[in-house]
Amino acid sequence: MATLLPSFSCRQGSSQIHSFLIKSGFESDISVSTAMIDVYAKCGFMLSARRVFDEIPERSLISWNSMMWGHAQNGDAKKSMQLFVEMQISGGHQPDSFSVVTALRCCASLVSLGQGMEIHGYVYRSGLERILIVGNGLVDMYGKCGALELAERVFYQMQEKDVSSWTALIIFYGLNGQGAKAISLFEKMKKARTVSPNSVTLIAVLSLQPFLLSRRRVWIFQRHVC
């Protein structure tokens, strides 16, 4: 049943499905309840998701993560962060990489550098910094909070980088008027030969500040696109 729930759309009556699950005795199944939270969250029905969440007798880490993600997806970063704290205090669960990435995304949205740095401390203590999506989340959070030097430090300490890692820092250099650094990083990306620029990378480079002469823009475009 839990594997079937994500296939239902909002138009198929998520509340009716929930009523059926209660009548059938599935509400006590934590995997079914968690899947129902996901369905409600994707439909934007966070009050209904919360009701399901509150009825779970023993919440799993996945249940907490689903509620956090739901609030973040529906534009309520503050509530998502409240759950992140509540999970650790009353839920008895330690955040995993998914929890951390969701929380970092919320910190970026709220421009909450202090909270972001606290999460970074937890990441370091728990060894999660080795996980690619966590490293990318830290770069994104620091960049959006205006802490470019910290974003740089995380980037260069990352053991593994993908196109999102490189592109994010290139974009943040551009947004902070450091076009020369953006171009330099772009060239390093090409020399590394471990990842290729994508369309977002190229747009970021080609839209840098006017000090980049149009002739150089054409050269970049011809070299990496044509």
pLDDT digits (tens, 9 = 90+) for 183-206: 999 999 999 888 999 999 999 998
What residue spans define the domains of the chain? 1-58, 60-131+138-155, 161-226
The tens digit of pLDDT for each residue in 137-163 reads 999 999 999 999 999 999 999 999 999
The dihedral over CA atoms of 48, 102, 106, 141, expressed in degrees to the nearest 10, equals -170
Please report the pLDDT score of residue 10 as a whole number. Answer: 58
Please report the pLDDT score of residue 9 as a whole number. Answer: 53
Q: How many whole angstroms separate alpha carbon 68 and alpha carbon 80? A: 5
Q: What percent of the chain has pLDDT over 90?
A: 65
The tens digit of pLDDT for each residue in 51-80 reads 999 989 889 999 999 999 999 999 999 999
Please report the pLDDT score of residue 90 as a whole number. Answer: 87
